[in-house]
Protein backbone atom coordinates (compact mmCIF):
# COMPACT_ATOMS: atom_id res chain seq x y z
CA UNK A 1 0.00 0.00 0.00
CA UNK A 2 2.84 2.40 0.82
CA UNK A 3 4.33 1.73 -2.62
CA UNK A 4 1.06 2.81 -4.28
CA UNK A 5 0.96 6.00 -2.22
CA UNK A 6 4.53 6.76 -3.27
CA UNK A 7 3.54 6.02 -6.88
CA UNK A 8 0.59 8.45 -6.65
CA UNK A 9 2.77 11.23 -5.22
CA UNK A 10 5.58 10.76 -7.74
CA UNK A 11 3.12 10.35 -10.62
CA UNK A 12 1.53 13.63 -9.58
CA UNK A 13 4.98 15.25 -9.61
CA UNK A 14 5.72 13.80 -13.09
CA UNK A 15 2.32 14.47 -14.67
CA UNK A 16 1.24 17.72 -13.02
CA UNK A 17 4.41 19.16 -11.56
CA UNK A 18 2.82 19.36 -8.10
CA UNK A 19 2.30 17.15 -5.06
CA UNK A 20 -0.54 18.92 -3.28
CA UNK A 21 -3.49 16.76 -2.18
CA UNK A 22 -5.66 17.74 -5.13
CA UNK A 23 -2.95 16.88 -7.69
CA UNK A 24 -2.22 13.55 -6.02
CA UNK A 25 -5.95 12.74 -5.99
CA UNK A 26 -6.16 13.63 -9.71
CA UNK A 27 -3.19 11.35 -10.46
CA UNK A 28 -5.27 8.42 -9.16
CA UNK A 29 -7.58 8.88 -12.15
CA UNK A 30 -4.83 8.55 -14.75
CA UNK A 31 -4.48 5.36 -16.79
CA UNK A 32 -0.83 5.45 -15.81
CA UNK A 33 -1.75 4.97 -12.14
CA UNK A 34 -3.90 1.97 -13.04
CA UNK A 35 -0.96 0.46 -14.95
CA UNK A 36 1.32 1.07 -11.96
CA UNK A 37 -1.24 -0.44 -9.57
CA UNK A 38 -1.55 -3.56 -11.74
CA UNK A 39 2.24 -3.79 -11.93
CA UNK A 40 2.55 -3.55 -8.13
CA UNK A 41 -0.12 -6.25 -7.75
CA UNK A 42 1.82 -8.45 -10.17
CA UNK A 43 4.97 -7.92 -8.08
CA UNK A 44 3.08 -8.95 -4.94
CA UNK A 45 1.60 -12.02 -6.66
CA UNK A 46 5.10 -13.18 -7.61
CA UNK A 47 6.53 -12.36 -4.17
CA UNK A 48 3.80 -14.38 -2.40
CA UNK A 49 3.76 -17.16 -5.06
CA UNK A 50 0.08 -16.76 -5.97
CA UNK A 51 -0.12 -19.12 -8.92
CA UNK A 52 -1.71 -17.69 -12.06
CA UNK A 53 -2.42 -14.21 -10.68
CA UNK A 54 0.62 -12.56 -12.30
CA UNK A 55 -0.41 -13.94 -15.70
CA UNK A 56 -4.03 -12.89 -15.27
CA UNK A 57 -3.01 -9.35 -14.28
CA UNK A 58 -0.51 -9.14 -17.18
CA UNK A 59 -3.23 -10.15 -19.64
CA UNK A 60 -5.60 -7.61 -18.07
CA UNK A 61 -2.94 -4.90 -18.33
CA UNK A 62 -2.34 -5.73 -22.00
CA UNK A 63 -6.04 -5.98 -22.90
CA UNK A 64 -7.15 -2.79 -21.13
CA UNK A 65 -4.15 -0.54 -21.70
CA UNK A 66 -2.23 -2.04 -24.63
CA UNK A 67 0.98 -2.16 -22.63
CA UNK A 68 3.33 -5.08 -22.00
CA UNK A 69 5.61 -4.99 -18.94
CA UNK A 70 7.88 -7.98 -18.32
CA UNK A 71 7.91 -9.73 -14.98
CA UNK A 72 11.58 -8.96 -14.29
CA UNK A 73 11.32 -5.23 -14.99
CA UNK A 74 12.06 -2.96 -12.03
CA UNK A 75 10.08 0.29 -12.04
CA UNK A 76 10.68 3.22 -9.76
CA UNK A 77 7.88 5.28 -8.28
CA UNK A 78 5.69 7.49 -10.43
CA UNK A 79 6.58 6.15 -13.87
CA UNK A 80 4.26 8.07 -16.18
CA UNK A 81 2.83 6.37 -19.26
CA UNK A 82 1.38 9.37 -21.10
CA UNK A 83 -0.02 7.03 -23.76
CA UNK A 84 0.07 3.35 -22.89
CA UNK A 85 -0.85 1.74 -26.21
CA UNK A 86 2.00 -0.04 -27.95
CA UNK A 87 4.50 0.33 -25.13
CA UNK A 88 6.68 -2.68 -24.31
CA UNK A 89 9.11 -2.73 -21.39
CA UNK A 90 10.79 -6.09 -21.25
CA UNK A 91 13.60 -8.24 -20.00
CA UNK A 92 15.43 -6.98 -16.95
CA UNK A 93 15.07 -3.29 -17.76
CA UNK A 94 15.31 -0.87 -14.83
CA UNK A 95 13.16 2.25 -15.00
CA UNK A 96 13.85 5.13 -12.59
CA UNK A 97 11.44 7.41 -10.79
CA UNK A 98 9.16 9.68 -12.82
CA UNK A 99 10.30 8.43 -16.23
CA UNK A 100 7.76 9.57 -18.85
CA UNK A 101 6.84 7.34 -21.79
CA UNK A 102 5.02 9.22 -24.55
CA UNK A 103 3.69 6.06 -26.19
CA UNK A 104 4.48 3.24 -28.60
CA UNK A 105 7.91 2.71 -27.01
CA UNK A 106 10.08 -0.39 -26.82
CA UNK A 107 12.54 -0.79 -23.96
CA UNK A 108 14.44 -4.07 -23.92
CA UNK A 109 16.92 -6.17 -25.82
CA UNK A 110 17.10 -7.54 -29.32
CA UNK A 111 20.09 -9.85 -28.81
CA UNK A 112 19.72 -11.10 -25.21
CA UNK A 113 22.86 -9.15 -24.34
CA UNK A 114 21.36 -7.05 -21.53
CA UNK A 115 18.61 -4.54 -20.96
CA UNK A 116 18.50 -0.78 -20.58
CA UNK A 117 18.64 1.28 -17.40
CA UNK A 118 16.71 4.54 -17.53
CA UNK A 119 17.58 6.83 -14.64
CA UNK A 120 15.20 9.34 -12.99
CA UNK A 121 13.14 11.91 -14.90
CA UNK A 122 13.97 10.63 -18.40
CA UNK A 123 11.52 11.50 -21.19
CA UNK A 124 11.08 8.84 -23.88
CA UNK A 125 9.52 10.37 -27.01
CA UNK A 126 6.78 8.77 -29.11
CA UNK A 127 7.93 5.68 -30.97
CA UNK A 128 11.40 5.69 -29.42
CA UNK A 129 13.30 2.44 -28.94
CA UNK A 130 15.97 1.83 -26.28
CA UNK A 131 17.68 -1.48 -26.91
CA UNK A 132 20.48 -3.43 -25.27
CA UNK A 133 22.67 -2.88 -22.23
CA UNK A 134 22.60 0.93 -22.33
CA UNK A 135 22.25 3.50 -19.57
CA UNK A 136 20.17 6.62 -20.14
CA UNK A 137 21.28 9.31 -17.70
CA UNK A 138 18.98 11.27 -15.42
CA UNK A 139 16.86 14.01 -17.02
CA UNK A 140 17.82 12.98 -20.56
CA UNK A 141 15.32 13.37 -23.38
CA UNK A 142 15.00 10.79 -26.13
CA UNK A 143 13.42 12.25 -29.26
CA UNK A 144 10.47 10.79 -31.13
CA UNK A 145 11.33 7.66 -33.13
CA UNK A 146 14.94 7.67 -31.89
CA UNK A 147 16.71 4.32 -31.67
CA UNK A 148 19.06 4.33 -28.68
CA UNK A 149 21.83 1.73 -28.90
CA UNK A 150 24.53 3.52 -26.87
CA UNK A 151 24.70 5.17 -23.45
CA UNK A 152 23.09 8.60 -23.13
CA UNK A 153 24.69 11.12 -20.75
CA UNK A 154 22.57 12.83 -18.09
CA UNK A 155 20.79 16.08 -19.07
CA UNK A 156 21.21 15.45 -22.80
CA UNK A 157 18.92 15.21 -25.82
CA UNK A 158 19.30 12.40 -28.37
CA UNK A 159 17.57 12.08 -31.74
CA UNK A 160 17.74 9.92 -34.85
CA UNK A 161 18.35 6.34 -35.79
CA UNK A 162 20.79 5.48 -34.40
CA UNK A 163 20.35 8.15 -31.76
CA UNK A 164 23.00 10.84 -31.46
CA UNK A 165 23.20 13.71 -29.00
CA UNK A 166 22.35 17.26 -29.97
CA UNK A 167 23.24 20.29 -27.87
CA UNK A 168 20.50 21.31 -25.42
CA UNK A 169 20.61 24.86 -26.77
CA UNK A 170 19.78 23.60 -30.27
CA UNK A 171 16.98 21.43 -28.85
CA UNK A 172 15.48 24.41 -26.97
CA UNK A 173 15.71 26.55 -30.12
CA UNK A 174 13.96 23.86 -32.19
CA UNK A 175 11.12 23.71 -29.64
CA UNK A 176 10.71 27.50 -29.63
CA UNK A 177 10.85 28.01 -33.40
CA UNK A 178 7.51 27.55 -35.19
CA UNK A 179 7.58 25.52 -38.40
CA UNK A 180 7.40 27.66 -41.52
CA UNK A 181 4.72 27.14 -44.16
CA UNK A 182 7.13 27.35 -47.10
* pLDDT less than 70: residues of the chain: 168-182
Which domains, from first to last, does the chain contain? Answer: 2-176 (2.160.10.10)
- d(CA 141, CA 125) in angstroms, rounded, equals 7
DSSP 34-74: HHHHHHHHHHHHHHTT-TTHHHHHHHHHHHHH-EEE-TT-E
> Over the chain, what is the mean pLDDT?
93
Residue 49 designated active-site: no
- d(CA 128, CA 34) in angstroms, rounded, equals 23
pLDDT digits (tens, 9 = 90+) for 12-47: 999 999 999 999 999 999 999 999 999 999 999 999
The active-site residue out of 3, 26, 71, 83 is 83
Q: Give the DSSP H/E element, type plus range, for residue 113.
A: none
pLDDT reported for residue 182: 44
pLDDT reported for residue 112: 85
Query: In terms of DSSP bridges, do strands 67-69 and 87-89 run parallel, antiparallel, or are they unpaired?
Result: parallel
pLDDT digits (tens, 9 = 90+) for 151-161: 999 999 999 99
Amino acid sequence: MLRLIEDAIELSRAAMGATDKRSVARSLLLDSFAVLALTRMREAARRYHVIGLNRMLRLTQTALYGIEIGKEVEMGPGVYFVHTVGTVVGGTARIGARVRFMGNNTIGTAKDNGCPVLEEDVVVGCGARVLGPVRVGARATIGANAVVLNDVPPDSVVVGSPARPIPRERAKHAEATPASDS
